[in-house]
Chains A and B, each alone.
Chain A
Amino acid sequence: MSRRELLKLTPVIALGAFAVPKLQTPLLKSGLGFSDWVSDIIFRREHLAPTFPDAEVSPFDRFPINDYDVDDPGVDLERWALAVGGAVQNPGEYTLNQIQALPKITQNTRHVCVEGWDVIGNFAGARLSDFLKMMGADNMARFVSVKCADDYYESLDMATALHPQTLLCYEMYGKPLTREHGAPLRLTVPTKIGYKQAKYLTELKVTNVLQQVGYWEDQGYSEFYGL
């Protein structure tokens, strides 16, 4: 009788699969995938990230600079243009002036780093949704992917790309982006973790298929990581 009761507990041994090297990677991948799937479901398109009064914004020199390679990839700011392609009606090169001609949004939002720190910053730029409209993007496409001057690359799901707080950011703290913060153009996405908010943008593409998700995602980080 006791033995039969003991045998009933054998499902617990299934957890041992996580200790088997061959099974561990696919199991953890599906666990992370499940988390991303739930995150996608609970993301609300119209729900805004908290915004903060100016008094709560961290000083500019306390806003951390994280990069994966170099602080300054040496962008030629004079000749810079954003190369747009994929499922858009108006592909081509867009200058900073064209992006700055779109309505300017200024917001104090929290930047959350996957490492565990967070900082409230002041960001200004054009809504990515306005830019997508201007270039005649297919809103039914699944992703917006970007490439950066430092070989970093990222992607956003379309719902997040169209979120009203998702910006093509060209100003922080009322001044043009410094090189360390991604001059001349970066993503600001208060509904996403920090590593999705790519700096030094050079290319933007609307697509249904991602060859690569993002630099850190391809190392094993969460693909969705919505906040």
Chain B
Amino acid sequence: MASRAIEIVDPKTGDVTEAVYEHPFIVRLCHWVNAVALLVLAGSGLQIFRAFPSFGAKIPQKDLIHWPKALAIGGWLGGALQWHLTFMWIYIATGLVYLGYELFSGNYKQALFVRRDIPGVWPMVRHYFFFGPKPPEKEPYNPLQKHAYTTAVVLGVLSVLTGIAIWKPVQFSWLAWPMGGFHYARLWHFVIMWALLAFVFGHLVMVALHGWNNFVSMFTGWKKDPGYRVE
């Protein structure tokens, strides 16, 4: 990997800190813009859902939940649709730029789950869930982390595909077929949103657990005291 490592010398104390460049600019930019877009889409999506909070027939209407208006964006159905149909383009654009960059730069080997990550899965599961020893860190992300990020990317793609299936059920009528038809595509779109929000929640918990240097690295690209050696 093209991770760059440097040593920072404090001019007063002379202490040496190691820092690694983990997140290229495009990744950081896409990360934050996409994060904002995802939250706007979830909030406006829930306001849209409020207009018909069911996945059954209109008659008889059996409401699933009454989602509070305070936790939704847009104020009313028309307003929410404006937010949704605006930010979906931002969401798609950052997603495509991110994925394109990952594939062409080779950065996906750092962030996404690839075949060489398979052997590391079990030791990491043992460490996280069964008090096993902590496997040595050789790179920024451990196999389970990469698995989580890869899942998030897949969910992101599915959120767009299910969205297109319900937004354009005539022009892309074939798209709804593997989802069980147009009617179920809306349910999948909803389920995938919750899966993405669950990922965001888990992600935030892990960020909180991993401390300040890790958090700052998604802003500056550089992580101080990375805790692993770059060869």
Contacts and interface: CB of A to CB of B under 8 A. Distances in A.
Interface of A: 1-3, 5-6, 8-9, 11-12, 15, 18, 27-32, 34-35, 39, 42-44, 47, 49-50, 58, 61-64, 110, 112-119, 190-191, 216, 219-222, 226-227
Contacts of A58: 57
B89 A31 contact: yes
B202 interface: no
Contacts of B89: 31, 34-35
Given A31-B86, A31-B89, A117 B170 contact: no
Interface of B: 25, 28-29, 32-33, 36, 40, 48-49, 51-52, 54, 57-59, 61, 77-79, 81-83, 85-90, 167-171, 173, 182-183, 186, 216, 219-222
A43 B170 CA distance: 9
Contacts of A110: 169, 182
Given A2-B222, A118-B182, 9 more contacts: A35-B85, A50-B170, A58-B57, A62-B58, A63-B59, A64-B58, A112-B182, A113-B58, A114-B77
Contact of A31 (B51, B77, B85): B85
A110 B186 CA distance: 15
Q: Find the residue from B58, B87, B167, B169 having the highest chain A CB count within 10 A.
A: B58
Given A43-B171, A190-B170, A28 B86 contact: yes
A118 B68 CA distance: 24
B78 A216 contact: yes
A119 to B, nearest CB: 6
Contact of B81 (A2, A44, A221): A221
A32 B86 CA distance: 6
A62 B48 CA distance: 22
